[in-house]
């Protein structure tokens, strides 16, 4: 079981670096998306990323 973050328009969170790095990167390919083992980590990341984006990404369940 894995979890991915996805925006309302179907873009997946691909990378999230420290503020001095590349920042938040999105992809349309689910296979390139970051994934989380626990729902708690996915929720925490969605909350943190959402502060910068101005909206909360959705959490999508993935069997792999």
Could you read off the pLDDT of 1-12 as tens digits, one per residue? 899 999 999 999
Number of Cβ atoms within 10 Å of the Cβ of 15: 14
Residue range 17-57, pLDDT digits in tens: 666 666 788 899 999 999 999 999 999 999 998 988 899 99
Give the contacts of 40 (CB within 8 A, at least 6 positions apart). none
pLDDT for residue 64: 65
Domain coverage including residue 27:
2-62
pLDDT for residue 47: 94
pLDDT for residue 51: 87
pLDDT for residue 52: 85
Number of Cβ atoms within 10 Å of the Cβ of 60: 15
Residue 46 burial (10 A CB sphere; 0-12, 13-18, 19+): buried
Give the number of domains in the chain. Answer: 1
Number of Cβ atoms within 10 Å of the Cβ of 17: 10
pLDDT for residue 18: 63
């Amino acid at each position: 079981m894995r979890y991915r973050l996805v925006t309302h328009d179907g873009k997946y969170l691909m990378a999230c670096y420290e503020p001095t790095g590349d920042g938040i990167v999105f992809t349309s390919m689910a296979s390139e998306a970051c994934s989380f083992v626990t729902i708690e980590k996915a929720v925490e990341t969605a909350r943190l990323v959402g502060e910068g984006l101005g909206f909360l990404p959705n959490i999508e369940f993935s069997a792999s």
